[in-house]
Structure 1
Amino acid sequence: MPPRLTVVVHGPEVRGRFAECLESVERQVTSGRPGVEVVVAGTDAGARRLAGEAAARDPRFVSLPLPDSTPDAEARRAGAERASGEWLLFLRGKDRLPAGALRAATGATELCGAAVESRPADVVLMDHVRTTWHTGAAPSPDGPLLARAGHAPVPPDARPELLGVAPLLGNRLVRSAFWAAHHEVLAAGNERYTAYALLLVAGRVACADQIVLEDRVERAATLPPPTADGPFGLIEPYVAADSLLTSLHRPAALRHRLYDLMTHEWLRVISARTLPGDAAEEFFRAASRAARACRPPGHERPEGLEGVRQSLLEAGAYRGYLRLAALNDRRRGLRAGVRRQRRKLGGKVRARRYQGALERPLDPRLAVFSAYWDRGVACNPGAIAEELRRLAPHIHPVWVVSGARVPLLPPGTDHVVPGTPRYSEVMARATYLVNNVNFPNAVVKRPGQVHVQTHHGTPLKCMGLDQIPYPAAAKGLNFRQLLRRVDKWDYSVTANAHSTRMWQRAYPSGYTELEHGYPRNDVFYAADAERVRAVRARLGIPPGARALLYAPTHRDYEATWSPRLDLARFAERLGPDTVLLVRGHYFYSGAPTPLAGLRAAGRVLDVSAYDPVEELALASDALITDYSSIMFDYANLDRPVVVYADDWEVYRRTRGVYFDLLAEAPGPLARTEDELAEIFTSGAWNDPASAAARTVFRRRFCEFDDGRAAERVVRRVFLGTPEARLPPVLPLHERTPAPTPEEAVRR
């Protein structure tokens, strides 16, 4: 059998990058990735030596020595000719394969490369991350576009917007037969040209928003001397791609889209103002000539400033462009000034109002609650507020809720919207402030105020200061401000000793740990058979059906969430008596697909917007998750938990984790969709080995969750009950979780 995928690594060894590139490939190939071949086309002595060493270690590596300074296009052509795989992935020697990339790539070829009306995909577009000397693995902007496009192969003219995906070759999987049939055209230019040519020539294109490339951008000072064409090298690839498109007689929409992309790129170079005056004008003139030559008949310019800039480029009006740029700079400055003044004035009014409220005494009967950045009544704060009504009805709860979420509040919920006069009043005068995230920086911690941080999960992934070594996770975080917010905490609620230790190191400050359990998990011990039956009936789960809750987590390195499973295929393999409850927004459209039919039949239910999530747990027979903290909460039910860790290496590397989930999973663990299906069809999901692993997991992570967590928090914080007089935590073997769906039917 020929390999499924051939990775063509090409280029010279410069500053150790080629060695790092090969290491990134070799780690994944030697870890047991089947159906992968690697052709290494080295173009200098160092690269040739490394290629030979890799081939000597592993027969799946093929060394293809090429003469010094062989152009990249020739190296790619030679590598493709030597390849025997069904699909090709070109990788420059300066770049790397992120962990899990080969798994994602081979999976994408299986998912996207299947024939649709006898027309399989020729090219599969995938996502990438970009690393510079000062940033690591920054997400690309392509994720949402790839997610919306979906897996189904379509003609490129059906989705001309796909031309906007970064013009790289490492983010494109190419069917070998397609490359062989068109290699003279595809390999006729540089990488940018070939990236576009692949999409223009392809009969069908598919998309997958998983990451297969780490594009490494070197500092200018470390690069070889610039070529003679300099920025002018950005003109010819587009002109050649336009010429190719014209010869192919493709629909006009593709040419119009390509034209907007090329003029936008040329104008970006000009507006960056990195070229000296004469060179800038010369580039503008050259781009202007190319724009006039490539402008499609009947092309409508973009609206607004972009369209004006495009018209000036076409007219060759360099002086006019400079005047427009200067005018626009002044206009932006004026608008920014007006916005700053408005914000400043509004901020002063709110600050004065808040300051006035701060001078009034605290209200000992007032408590402010918020959850998930003002989303509404939920999570641990919601459970605490409910218990407060029972044990301390003299304390009045007020919820902070964003304006858009107000209509979703339970009837009669007293609330305030941030920025309003009453918001300033309650934030300044409440004695108790409870949140599962942090309150804004501007909130003043007054003497006598009590801040309760409940958190919203047990940490597997790194949090707080522990995120600093992981750029994708730390992006946009100000850790000094974070610590100032943490310093306002009086209490930190934890569900287990592991959480206590991790919060202490991630959020170092002087607060008191409340090892009382998570109040939101009390329901897992309080719910009876009637409630389990009622939730299943609300969801439309047929009596006797097996309901599996699929709840994956967010990934910092992906722009949008998409399922890591082919839900239609997975549901079919599990059979008609299984219902999938999918907790997450997926990109399958409402078009006639196998998934649409399964949704109509009630076998796949999108429960992404269903709240509270605890009810979904009660309704399900088992949980499928990856690295979500829901596994720690769900374990309280003592029902099967199956972990699907298809990209564990990528997640661990980009996010950071506190323990090895693969070694300490709460139940069966799958690395592929086939393995996951086998767990459920074979019965391994609910066998004695699964129960034994779950017992160990529950003992460690359900340590303080016994159904009375909210009571302990309310008595300790709001009623001042000493720690020694609080209800003791019930030992694990004495707890009785809510009945399973099967037990609920019998009661």
Structure 2
Amino acid sequence: MTNPDVSFVVTAHNAQGRLRAGVGSLLGRAAAMESEVIVVDNGSADLTGAIADELAAEHPSVRALRLRETQLPGVAREAGAQLARGRYLLFLDGGDELVPGSLDALGARLAEAGEDGERREPDVLLFDHARVDWRGDSTPGGDSARLARAGRVFAPLASRPWLLRTSRVLANRLIRRDFHLARRDLFEREGPDEALAAHGSLLAAADIGALDRVCVLRHEPPGSRRSPVSAERYFELFDDYERLMALAGEPAVQNTLFDLMIRHYMAVVAGEDLPRSERARFFHRAAADFARHRPAGYRRPEGLTGIRHALLERDTYAGYPALQQANRGRRRLIGAAGAAKRGAGRRAEGLFYQARSRAPLDPNLAVFSAYWDRGVTCNPAAISASLAELAPHIRQVWTVRRAGRALVPPGTTVVSTDERRYWDVMARATYFVNNVNFPDSLVKRPGQIHVQTHHGTPLKRMGVDQLAHPATSRGVDYDALLARCARWDYSVSANRHSSEVWERAYPVGFTSLDHGSPRNDVYYRATADDVLRARARLGLEPGTTALLYAPTHRDHEAGWTPRIDLERFARTLGPGFKVLVRGHYFYDRGASPLSALHRAGSIIDVSDHDSVEELALASDALVTDYSSLMFDYANLDRPILVFADDWETYATTRGVYFDITEEAPGVVARTQDELQEALVSGEWQGAEAARRRAAFRERFCEFDDGRAAERVVRRVFLGETRLPPVVPVALRTPAPTPAEAELTAVRIPAARQSSSHASH
């Protein structure tokens, strides 16, 4: 096999949210240059390594390398480079993407002949890049003017020393592999950033080319996601620049490098990452470098930068903090309005809350909530029950609106937002568990731990992924949303799909708990008696086939009208079927369109039933459109029918992550007649429906095995790291179906009667 033209070396650490998109941008491009992708999982604690393995299995041009322990980025990068076979290397991070058409443009640029007509390959080919924030807004790297000025020649740095001022990253350049092998000393070691490799590759290159084009998009994580850098690693910069200065031969190159070095040093001193206790020591070391490397004919810059240079030149650190303090004066004036607004918000939270927030945290107090304080339900309820069993010393308080208190289980301690007690527990609790966000009024204190459980596997787009769909995201304050999400310490996930989506849709700092969806534990723990009791509560006769119809909410519709003619639906199916209809909780106000049908006996309206899990256990099959309930219900391994009459409209307006009509867990019907025919004919129970359901379960029921809540409690509340392993899907036994449960009920009395006769 011929060697490729380019080897993309992608180093990824806890990058599960963006790795697929990043690697995907490097694949499937019909380009003049052949390429390969080497993904290096740098000791990730999430699913990054598993995703890398999947990509390698799916694409012949992808190889995966998994490092057991997290290494410095330079070490991980070089581990991947050792596997590379391409003429050129491009080093990327796990979230970086290649702009379409870039490979062709880079290939064309490399193929150009020099001014003398002789074709030669540069050691480095520079191009521009852009930084992309969570909104999708891009900011160019700022190198375009310099790259355009460089023209089309391949030449050493001495003829164009200003190219040294291009961004000091490796993601904005192709590096010839033979050159890289000859100068591995510049790439193997890495200080606090890529200065040595980025500057060094240009200083050591025999020829440098430039392309005035943005080729790479860098999806930069928020500040809370950046890996911390130790103080000692910042001091490694002095050794790095010592080596770089040794490579800067021409005076013009020396002058440029000296200026960049001093700016870099001063940025470290002025930044927040270097501890204050180390700043004076760093400053004095920088002053020594200033004196040692000051070039002949040096002229101090103008303005504030020049003043900083003067302080460093004289090694006068005592005056530096005063300069910084004076410079912050203007910033304080600008921020005064914002501070006043925040102060008003704190006053609105009440003096009592502020006072209690100064009290010590209670290490044995946990606050639970679900669905904006609707009641004790969903994943938080499952975690709550497991916590009571495994850690009874932790006191639990639920925040429940007054209207929902009637359904709260006996013995539950509850508070409402209009009570003084609410502010006390919110101020002092150590643990917070919710399937949505807590209110903006909650100020997270150091030491408090927030667990976000979510409430379903995402088919529709969530979080900042909705930005591309203004019909449903118009008016959403995404800055406020991310501020609420930034309180999360843990995010609970039922499958890898969810883990990837949550990290990308909510780009804040949290640890993914790939432990399963706690509310789905019941689908493996429920007994035949539980199933029969659930059916009895609904008045379902033995032998009746119960269909649970649970459609989802549509953002583009103001109200809800069932998309199925339920009266005709029930009449067509006949007396052997019973339709349980559960309207979405967003439509719990006003007159229900189900009331008359319920009174007439055509359907059973279960919209107000307190447990959707009990409804699932009682039913023989699920009929839904795009509700996340299908992902939970699949754990039962019972038939699921997808009624997708408006799929194209829903997918366009709401945005989706995949086409459910192609990857459905069973029969897909586009009209009511198709849906009825599938049920009447028996297709819903056929082999093809079972095959599709099995594939769906394997993908989306990945971590659900009946012990999800236990794993969350042991990890978060008890601090355990050795958790019960997840049982593979093929080895699990779901709760019995209604038919199996009824058969069990018949067998048990018969066995008892036989035993009674034998005793006589």
Normalising by structure 2, we get a TM-score of 0.51
Q: Is contact 1:496-1:701 (8 Å) kept?
A: yes
Q: Secondary structure at the match of 1:556?
A: coil
Q: Secondary structure at the match of 1:433?
A: strand
**Deviation by residue 1:686-722 (Cα, 9 ceiling, x = unmatched):** 1110100000000000000000000000000000001
Give, in whole Å, the separation in 1 of the partners of 2:409 and 2:420: 23
Give, in whole Å, the separation in 1 of the partners of 2:389 and 2:637: 28
User: Cα offset for 1:345?
Assistant: 9.9
Amino acid at match of 2:717: F
User: Cα offset for 1:419?
Assistant: 3.3
After alignment, is 596-605 or 376-385 more displaced? 596-605
Q: Is contact 2:407-2:610 (8 Å) kept?
A: no
User: Cα offset for 1:469?
Assistant: 1.7
User: Cα offset for 1:476?
Assistant: 3.2
Residue 609 of structure 1 corresponds to: 608
Kindly report which structure 2 residues correspond to 1:345-360, keeping only aligned pairs within 5 A, or say none: 348=347, 350-360=349-359
**Deviation by residue 1:299-339 (Cα, 9 ceiling, x = unmatched):** xxxxxxxxxxxxxxxxxxxxxxxxxxxxxxxxxxxxxxxxx
User: Cα offset for 1:531?
Assistant: 0.7
Q: Is contact 1:368-1:399 (8 Å) kept?
A: yes
Give, in whole Å, the separation in 2 of the partners of 1:636 and 1:609: 23
User: Cα offset for 1:442?
Assistant: 1.9
Residue 508 of structure 1 corresponds to: 507
Kindly report which structure 2 residues correspond to 1:265-664, keeping only aligned pairs within 5 A, or say none: 348=347, 350-584=349-583, 599-600=598-599, 602-664=601-663
Give, in whole Å, the separation in 2 of the partners of 1:347 and 1:431: 20
Q: Is contact 2:598-2:604 (8 Å) kept?
A: yes
Distance 1:631 1:531, change over 3 A: same
Q: Secondary structure at the match of 1:547?
A: strand
**Deviation by residue 1:195-239 (Cα, 9 ceiling, x = unmatched):** xxxxxxxxxxxxxxxxxxxxxxxxxxxxxxxxxxxxxxxxxxxxx
User: Cα offset for 1:670?
Assistant: 0.3
Q: Is contact 1:402-1:418 (8 Å) kept?
A: yes
Amino acid at match of 2:449: V
Q: Is contact 2:349-2:441 (8 Å) kept?
A: no
Amino acid at match of 1:512: T
Q: Secondary structure at the match of 1:666?
A: coil
Give, in whole Å, the separation in 1 of the partners of 2:600 and 2:356: 56
Q: Is contact 1:576-1:603 (8 Å) kept?
A: no
Is 2:717 aligned against 1:718? Answer: yes
**Deviation by residue 1:233-290 (Cα, 9 ceiling, x = unmatched):** xxxxxxxxxxxxxxxxxxxxxxxxxxxxxxxxxxxxxxxxxxxxxxxxxxxxxxxxxx
Amino acid at match of 1:421: R
Residue 300 of structure 2 corresponds to: none
User: Cα offset for 1:602?
Assistant: 4.1
Residue 740 of structure 1 corresponds to: 737
Q: Secondary structure at the match of 2:662?
A: coil
Give, in whole Å, the separation in 1 of the partners of 2:599 and 2:423: 48
Kindly report which structure 2 residues correspond to 1:29-40, keeping only aligned pairs within 5 A, or say none: none
User: Cα offset for 1:600?
Assistant: 4.7
Residue 286 of structure 1 corresponds to: none
Q: Is contact 1:579-1:602 (8 Å) kept?
A: no
Q: Secondary structure at the match of 2:455?
A: coil
Amino acid at match of 2:385: E
Give, in whole Å, the separation in 1 of the partners of 2:472 and 2:733: 38
User: Cα offset for 1:420?
Assistant: 2.0
Q: Is contact 1:550-1:581 (8 Å) kept?
A: yes
Q: Is contact 1:540-1:602 (8 Å) kept?
A: no
Residue 257 of structure 1 corresponds to: none
Give, in whole Å, the separation in 2 of the partners of 1:466 and 1:479: 11
Give, in whole Å, the separation in 2 of the partners of 1:345 and 1:519: 39
Kindly report which structure 2 residues correspond to 1:136-175, keeping only aligned pairs within 5 A, or say none: none
Kindly report which structure 2 residues correspond to 1:102-181, keeping only aligned pairs within 5 A, or say none: none
Normalising by structure 1, we get a TM-score of 0.52
Give, in whole Å, the separation in 2 of the partners of 1:566 and 1:505: 39
Q: Is contact 1:517-1:705 (8 Å) kept?
A: yes
Distance 1:590 1:457, change over 3 A: closer
Q: Secondary structure at the match of 1:468?
A: helix
Distance 1:731 1:469, change over 3 A: same
Q: 2:728 aligns with which of 707, 728, 731?
A: 731
Runs of 4+, deviation exceeding 2 Å: 344-351, 595-603
Amino acid at match of 2:492: V
**Deviation by residue 1:142-187 (Cα, 9 ceiling, x = unmatched):** xxxxxxxxxxxxxxxxxxxxxxxxxxxxxxxxxxxxxxxxxxxxxx
Residue 164 of structure 2 corresponds to: none
Q: Is contact 2:450-2:488 (8 Å) kept?
A: yes
Distance 1:494 1:349, change over 3 A: closer
Give, in whole Å, the separation in 1 of the partners of 2:559 and 2:595: 21
Amino acid at match of 1:699: E
Q: Secondary structure at the match of 1:716?
A: helix
Give, in whole Å, the separation in 1 of the partners of 2:431 and 2:595: 48
User: Cα offset for 1:495?
Assistant: 0.1
Amino acid at match of 2:729: L
User: Cα offset for 1:352?
Assistant: 1.1
Give, in whole Å, the separation in 1 of the partners of 2:432 and 2:538: 35
**Deviation by residue 1:498-554 (Cα, 9 ceiling, x = unmatched):** 000000110011200000000000000000000100110110111100000000000
Q: Is contact 1:578-1:603 (8 Å) kept?
A: no
User: Cα offset for 1:351?
Assistant: 2.4
Q: Secondary structure at the match of 2:532?
A: helix
Identity of aligned residues (%): 62
Q: Is contact 1:381-1:435 (8 Å) kept?
A: yes
User: Cα offset for 1:682?
Assistant: 0.6
User: Cα offset for 1:428?
Assistant: 0.8
Residue 65 of structure 1 corresponds to: none
Kindly report which structure 2 residues correspond to 1:179-198, keeping only aligned pairs within 5 A, or say none: none
Distance 1:599 1:425, change over 3 A: closer
User: Cα offset for 1:409?
Assistant: 1.5
Q: Secondary structure at the match of 1:501?
A: helix
Residue 100 of structure 1 corresponds to: none
Q: Is contact 1:377-1:399 (8 Å) kept?
A: yes
Give, in whole Å, the separation in 2 of the partners of 1:590 and 1:718: 43
Q: Based on CA coordinates, which of the two structures has the bigger radius of gyration?
A: 2
Q: Is contact 1:525-1:707 (8 Å) kept?
A: yes
Give, in whole Å, the separation in 1 of the partners of 2:600 and 2:415: 42
Q: Secondary structure at the match of 2:351?
A: helix
Give, in whole Å, the separation in 2 of the partners of 1:349 and 1:652: 41
Q: Is contact 2:368-2:396 (8 Å) kept?
A: yes
Residue 692 of structure 2 corresponds to: 693
Q: Secondary structure at the match of 2:521?
A: helix
User: Cα offset for 1:651?
Assistant: 0.3
Amino acid at match of 1:713: V
Kindly report which structure 2 residues correspond to 1:9-158, keeping only aligned pairs within 5 A, or say none: none
Amino acid at match of 1:559: A
Mark the runs of 5 or more structure 1 residues left unpaired by the alignment. Answer: 1-343
User: Cα offset for 1:467?
Assistant: 0.9
Q: Secondary structure at the match of 1:715?
A: helix
Amino acid at match of 1:622: A
Mark the runs of 5 or more structure 2 residues left unpaired by the alignment. Answer: 1-342, 745-760
Distance 1:446 1:598, change over 3 A: closer
Residue 258 of structure 1 corresponds to: none
